[in-house]
Amino acid sequence: MSLGSVVITGASRGIGAATAVLAAKRGFSVCVNYTSNEEAADQVLAKVTENGGMAIKVQADVSREDEVARMFDRCEQELGHLSGLVNSAGIMSPNMRLETMDFARLERVFRINVLGSILCAKEAVRRMSRTNGGHGGAIVNLSSVASQHGAPGENVDYAASKGAIDSFTKGLAKEVAADGIRVNCVRPGLTATELHESTGDPERIVNLAPYVPIKRVAEPHEIAEAIMWFLSDQSSYCVGAILDVSGGR
């Protein structure tokens, strides 16, 4: 029995990909969003379908309003009513101090990490809100523990963008709870994904792992399990919750 469809942004890699595979196993029809890496999206799609799940891939830049609307339209047309959104798309940039960051970098980080999540949530709310004739549902935003420690000397812009996601989660959760939509947030710590490669330090997670209390980095599927809990009825009384999945960091 299908639990409805779920849009997972940034689902061609890392946490998004792991969540897409797990969501399909749990009974969701999955919209696998990607920006440019179609081959990676195809690999995720293959993993879903080989386990009997239903999924489609949709190319869309989450920072573009028209592309986001088109993605959600396709999801509903091909997979049925929307019941969930996972805002997993996000970027990091090369490590540097603030005074050397140019405006183009700052704009790109905030367009994708913040505006992208807000635009996708807007489309999800329009479709899931019981006030608008929807069936209700759940939105799970992806933040980072960087929003708490600030990533000094590396990515203060990334950390600030995730701080915005924390605030957005709290506000939207209160705004739409009575419409049958639960909004919550998972805040991962160091996770073994390709995202860290964009910092220019390929050994970043290896070097930082000893400073994590649990003495290792997370695997994407461990973060996906937390996301799926928020998508499920097991978290039915969670509204505006932010869950750190960080190994104690």
d(CA 93, CA 91): 7
pLDDT, tens only, 59-98: 999 999 999 999 999 999 999 999 999 999 999 999 999 9
CA dist 147 and 159 (Å) reads 5
Active site residue 211: no
Q: Which residue carries 């420690």 as its tokens? A: 149
- Residue of 34, 158, 211, 237 marked active site: 158
SS3 30: strand
What count of other Cβ atoms lies within 10 Å of the Cβ of residue 37?
A: 13
Domain that holds residue 37: 5-245
- CATH code of the domain in which 93 resides: 3.40.50.720
* Token output for 7: 């849009």
Count structural domains, the chain: 1
pLDDT in tens, 35-52: 999 999 999 999 999 888
Instruction: Report the candidate in 42, 57, 62, 54 with the shortest Cα–Cα distance to residue 5.
Output: 54
Least confident piece of the model among 144-153, 174-183, 201-210: 201-210
pTM: 0.96
Lowest mean pLDDT: which of 4-8, 77-81, 157-161, 197-201? 197-201
- pLDDT tops 60 at residue 1: no
**Residue 78 CB-density burial (10 A; 0-12 exposed, 13-18 middle, 19+ buried):** middle
At CB < 8 A and 24+ separation, what contacts does 214-217 make?
214/247, 214/248, 215/247, 216/247, 217/189, 217/190, 217/191, 217/192, 217/247
